[in-house]
Structures are given as structure tokens and as C-alpha cells.
Amino acid sequence: MKYLTKPLLISLVLSIGVIVSVSSLSLYLFESNALERKVMEWKANSSDSHKILIDALKDNHKTYINNVWSTMGFLMLAIGWVVTSDKARNYWQNSHLVRNISLLAVLTIMIFHITILYDISRESGRLMSLFGEEHELVGLSYYNVNARMVLGSAMVNGSFFLLLWALITLQIPNAKSLEDNPPSLIEPDISQNP
């Protein structure tokens, strides 16, 4: 445990975030290519068209769910680490370069996340348009990733991104400094000075 230095721990957490972000992006790109192949297959083989489109819509919905929850899991992990690690907070307070790199990583991951959600919603709309009016008969609206879902997910995960940003930016006192200088709950009366 003595080999885990502050820069190494911060790099480790940021690396986990980048890995989650890149894996979500690569999963999205892979799923997007798979969806495109399914749409092409649907156009070529009209007898199984509904089944192929339903599978494509389900895969798109699964990609959306995986992206939202994996990003939320990373954010919870990062927020928990920042809140419980006095050493990390001290290091961010003392090293502006590391803090700025961390903030840039948080911003980049947030932009990737929102972009992927938007693209998934757009792909879902395209797939739903291929069904025409039939999607209401089959009950496919459950698998439709609409703008309302994306906005809700972006707001929830966006609030976690902002919380992580604030925790990195603000100077939160560590437990040692609070023990040495506890906050006073009673204001001193300065009117009775001689």
C-alpha cells in the first residue's frame, strides 16, 4: 500500500473514468455498426423485416441502458473516492496542474456521454420511422429511446458530473484540519470589547 502515491491514485481514478468512457464509446460504435448491418439486412430480406427491426431497436435500447448505468457507476465511484480521500483532496489543493487535468477529464467524459446519448436517441428515432405507424400496434414504444429519456438521463448524470466537478474544485477541509480547528457554532460577541 505504501507504493500507491497520490499522483498514482489520481491517475488510477482518471484512467478508470477514461476507460469507462472509451468503452462506452466503442460499445456504441460497435452497436451502431451492428444496427446498420441489421437495417441493411432488413431492406434485403423483407420477410423477416419486423423481427430484424425489433432486434435492432432492442439492441439500441440495451446500449442506452448500459451507457447510462456504467457512467453513473463510474461517477458514484469517483464521488465516493473524492469524498473519502483526504490525501486526494490535499493533492488537488496543492497541485493545480493535476486538478486542471482532472477537471478536463471530467468535462471530456461528460461530453462523450451526452453525445453518445444523443446519437442513440437519433438512431432509435430512425429505426422507429422504419416501422411507420405499425410500432404502436406491436408495442415497441418501450424500446424507443426518445428525447425525454435522454434529457432525463443527461440531467441525472449531469448533476453527478457537476457534483464531481464541485468536489474537485472546492477546497473541502480534511478530517485532520477539522480536528485541529473545529468550526465554531457560536458567534463571538464583539460588542463587549473594552
Q: Give residue 158's pLDDT.
A: 92
Full pLDDT tens readout for the chain, 194 residues: 455 565 555 666 666 666 666 666 566 566 656 656 665 565 555 556 777 788 888 899 999 999 999 999 999 999 988 888 888 788 888 888 888 888 999 999 999 999 999 999 999 888 888 877 665 555 677 888 888 999 999 999 999 999 999 988 886 665 555 556 555 555 555 666 55
The pTM (predicted TM-score) of the whole model is: 0.64
Q: Give residue 17's pLDDT.
A: 63
In order of 34, 64, 85, 138, the CA distances from 41 in angstroms are 10, 22, 52, 20
55: number of Cβ within 10 Å? 17
The one-character DSSP state at 142 is G
pLDDT in tens, 111-165: 999 999 999 999 988 888 887 766 555 567 788 888 899 999 999 999 999 999 9
Domains of the chain: 6-171 (1.20.190)
Buried b / exposed e over 14-42, threshold 16 CB at 10 Å, is beebeebbeebbebbeebbeebeebbeeb
CA angle 57, 157, 26 (to 5 degrees): 50
Dist CA 33 CA 117 (whole Å): 16
